[in-house]
Structure 1
Amino acid sequence: MNKRILSLVILGGLMLLLSGCNVTNPPPISEESEGFWDQFFVWPLYWLIRESSLLLGDNYGLGILVATIIIRLIVLPLMIKQIKSSKKMQELQPEMQKIREKYKNDPQKAQQETMMLFQKHNINPLAGCLPLLVQMPILIAFYHAIIRAPEIKDHNFLWMALGQPDPYYILPILAAITTYLQSKVMGAVMQNNPQMQMMYVLMPIMILAIAVTLPSALSLYWVYGNLFTIVQTYFLYRDKNTQSSPKGGTAK
Structure 2
Amino acid sequence: MQKVNKWLKIIGPLPIGMAILALVGIVVAGFSYSGSVAGTGLWGSIVAVFTRSILGASNWFGSSYGLGIIIFTILIRFLILPLMVYQVDSMTKMQALQGEIKVIQAKYPGKDAESRQLLMNEQQALYKEHNVRPFASMLPLLVQMPILIALYQGILNSPVLRSGHFLWLELGQRDPYFILPILAALFTFASSWLSTQANPEQTTITKLMPYIFPVVIFFTALSVPSALSLYWVVGNIFQTIQTFYLQNPFKLRQERDAARKLERDIQRKMHKARRGRKHR
Alignment-derived partner of residue 151 in structure 1: 160
Residues 1:191 and 1:227: Cα distance change in structure 2 (over 3 Å): farther
Aligned counterpart for 2:179 among listed residues 170, 183, 190 = 170
Alignment-derived partner of residue 233 in structure 1: 243
Is 1:217 the counterpart of 2:217? The answer is: no
Is 1:54 the counterpart of 2:63? The answer is: no
Aligned counterpart for 2:215 among listed residues 194, 205, 219 = 205
Alignment-derived partner of residue 170 in structure 2: 161
Alignment-derived partner of residue 181 in structure 1: 190
> How many angstroms apart in 2 are the aligned matches of 1:226 and 1:63?
17
1:32-111 matched pairs, under 5 angstroms? 32-39=38-45, 41-104=46-109, 105=111, 106-111=115-120
Alignment-derived partner of residue 133 in structure 2: 124
Q: Structure 2 length normalisation: TM-score?
A: 0.72
CA contact (8 A) 2:173 2:226 kept: yes
Letter in 1 for 2:218: L
Provide Cα deviations, 1:127-170, integer angstroms capped at 9, x if missing partner: 01100100010000000111111111111111110000111111
CA contact (8 A) 2:39 2:47 kept: no
SS in 2 for 1:58: coil
Residues 1:159 and 1:190: Cα distance change in structure 2 (over 3 Å): same
> How many angstroms apart in 2 are the aligned matches of 1:32 and 1:58?
19
Q: CA deviation at 1:30?
A: 4.3
Higher relative contact order, structure no. (Cα contacts within 8 Å, ≥ 6 residues apart): 1
Provide Cα deviations, 1:69-108, integer angstroms capped at 9, x if missing partner: 1001110000010011011112212211111111125344
SS in 1 for 2:247: helix
Q: Which runs of 5 or more structure 2 residues have no equivalent in the other structure? A: 1-34, 262-280
Q: Which runs of 5 or more structure 1 residues have no equivalent in the other structure? A: 1-28
> How many angstroms apart in 2 are the aligned matches of 1:201 and 1:148?
34
CA contact (8 A) 2:194 2:247 kept: no
Letter in 1 for 2:184: A
Residues 1:107 and 1:211: Cα distance change in structure 2 (over 3 Å): same
Larger radius of gyration: 2
Residues 1:31 and 1:166: Cα distance change in structure 2 (over 3 Å): closer
Q: CA deviation at 1:192?
A: 5.7
SS in 1 for 2:198: helix
Residues 1:192 and 1:97: Cα distance change in structure 2 (over 3 Å): closer
CA contact (8 A) 2:48 2:154 kept: yes
SS in 2 for 1:126: helix
Q: Structure 1 length normalisation: TM-score?
A: 0.79
Q: CA deviation at 1:48?
A: 1.1
> How many angstroms apart in 2 are the aligned matches of 1:220 and 1:31?
22
CA contact (8 A) 2:181 2:218 kept: yes
